[in-house]
Amino acid sequence: MKEQGRSYRNMSGKCAFFQCFDSNRKDRGVNWMEKITGVTKDSAGAAAALKAMEEGAHVKVKGAVHSVRRMGEITFLILRRRDGLLQLVCEEGKTKEGYREVREGDTLKAEGTIRKEERSPGGLEIVTEEVTKLSESKKAFPLPVSRKKLNTSLEAKLSVRPLSLRNLRERAKFKIQEGICRAFREYLFQNGFTEIHTPKIGAKGAEGGANLFRLDYFHKKAVLEQSPQLYKQMMVGVFDRVFETGPVFRAEKHNTKRHLNEYTSLDLEMGYIDDFTDVMEVETGFLQYMTRLLEQEYRPWLDLLGARLPKTDEIPSVRFDEAKQLVAEVYQRPMRAPYDLEPEEEELIGRYFKETYGADFVFVTHYPSRKRPFYAMDDPADPKVTLSFDLLFRGLEVTTGGQRIHDYDKLTAKIGEKKMTTEGLEDYLSAFLYGMPPHGGLGIGLERLTMQLLGEENIRETCLFPRDLKRLEP
């Protein structure tokens, strides 16, 4: 047996090399082979693991230098790690010299012993023996990342996005966003939904030709999908209940605090509903699940942000026409746009239901047909309105949903009434031609939901890399 070949990994020693070349065998073996066994390690030393250790335990940890405080003979290096801050205590004569050259942004590994210390982040600190740089920051930070709040403009934060996100409050927003998205999927899996992935490049948009980004697709005209609407409906015919969490693209020339040109849409569509309130119940169930998940697993991030979880035990539902009338009368505000809610009206509806019923959320139902897309089902009792809803959260629309037309003849008739053409809709319509159950669904803007949950003033605060009229980078 020949000795095994070269190793690029003999330092770590975490898994055995084995000899797989047998010179007696007829077939040629490889000289060098290693087995990967799926044993993951966390060489940074997770906070939970450190917390479980005894005072005086010897540990190795890693992290990025969030801030440095030098106090005479003692230097505190505060490390930023994925699970929070960790304090290293370095002392002249006791800690090896290397710690003196450390600056903000460097990444380190350190060795030392645990000391329980209530005032430190996570209730402990590391009495440090030695610090070794893993990498260096080359430049002083242009903004004070380690401050509790970055008291700079949104513009300034976005202009140095990879850096400003290192601020603990900035990154916490996206932990909450993760929790929202996770709750959506987990809740729907538990309720028999299938996750789907639908194409973002298509030949035609779901809801008509305006506001579409256009591109050349191998010399064919293509668009970026503004919604997975038509695809998720087709898939109701296959899986009964489906959802998707993915990007959607809107070439709207808005420049407001609540619009993005690319955002993450949480979409669901469900078959065999009795009526569109079934969809509202599922959304309410999701929001309840979400608040529980955030409470249970994201409490530190919520606290850091001072975020208040909304009331989700019951959500009032009112009709569009009544809601509109209501705020006109209560707040003496003239109605202007009869077929839609103006942003100020949404705010006032939110305010009214908060003040009167303590509600953070309000469903507004029965939107006028002329403002809803062709696939929306009209109310048989009054075809001027649809069996649809929006969900307002603290005065801002975060969801649009409703029941869809499921009968082929009614659907094609409606397309005619809307002066649209069925051209390009053949595949979509074929799903109805071969039978579709009564169904409905909704789309939730992830960034908007996060924004309202956290009480942010601008949707760009809750998007890692916003795309708007001006911003295409980073």
In the complex, the smallest distance separating the C-beta of residue 345 from a second copy, rounded to whole angstroms, is 14
Place of tokens 């991030």: 301
Is 201 one of the binding residues for a second copy (CB under 8 A)? Answer: yes
Of 124-132, 186-194, 337-345, 392-400, which segment contacts a second copy by CB under 8 A?
186-194
Contacts of 107 (CB under 8 A, 6+ apart): 62, 63, 64, 65, 133, 134, 135
Which helix (H) or strand (E) segment holds residue 187: the answer is: helix 168-190
Burial of 167 (0-12, 13-18, 19+ CB in 10 A): buried
In the complex, the smallest distance separating the C-beta of residue 213 from a second copy, rounded to whole angstroms, is 6
Is 313 one of the binding residues for a second copy (CB under 8 A)? Answer: yes
**Is there a binding annotation on residue 262?**
no
Q: Rank residues 117 and 213 by Cβ distance to a second copy and give the closer one.
A: 213
Q: Rank residues 41 and 119 by Cβ distance to a second copy and give the closer one.
A: 41
Is 93 one of the binding residues for a second copy (CB under 8 A)? Answer: no
Q: Rank residues 278 and 342 by Cβ distance to a second copy and give the closer one.
A: 278
For 238, how many CA atoms within 13 A lie in the half-sphere containing its CB?
13
In the complex, the smallest distance separating the C-beta of residue 73 from a second copy, rounded to whole angstroms, is 26
The mark string for 375-414 relative to a second copy (x by CB under 8 A, - otherwise) is ----x-x-----x------------------xxxx-----
Q: Give one DSSP letter per residue of 107-171, joined into a string.
A: EEEEEEEEEE-TTSGGGEEEEEEEEEEEE---S--SS-TTSSS--S-HHHHHHTHHHHTTSHHHH
When computed from its CA atoms, the radius of gyration of the chain, rounded to whole angstroms, is 28
Is 82 one of the binding residues for a second copy (CB under 8 A)? Answer: yes
Is 240 one of the binding residues for a second copy (CB under 8 A)? Answer: yes
Q: Rank residues 117 and 412 by Cβ distance to a second copy and give the closer one.
A: 412
Is 73 one of the binding residues for a second copy (CB under 8 A)? Answer: no
Applying CB under 8 A, among 56, 123, 199, 208 the residue interacting with a second copy is 199
Segment 334 to 353, residues that bind a second copy, using CB under 8 A: 352
Burial of 134 (0-12, 13-18, 19+ CB in 10 A): exposed
Terminus-to-terminus CA distance in the chain, angstroms?
55
Give the integer Cα–Cα distance in Å for 352 and 357: 8
Dihedral angle sign, alpha carbons of residues 289, 295, 296, 301: positive
Is 94 one of the binding residues for a second copy (CB under 8 A)? Answer: no
Is 55 one of the binding residues for a second copy (CB under 8 A)? Answer: no
Applying CB under 8 A, among 195, 295, 303, 344 the residue interacting with a second copy is 195
In the complex, the smallest distance separating the C-beta of residue 370 from a second copy, rounded to whole angstroms, is 19
Residue 235 corresponds to which amino acid?
M
**Is there a binding annotation on residue 197?**
no
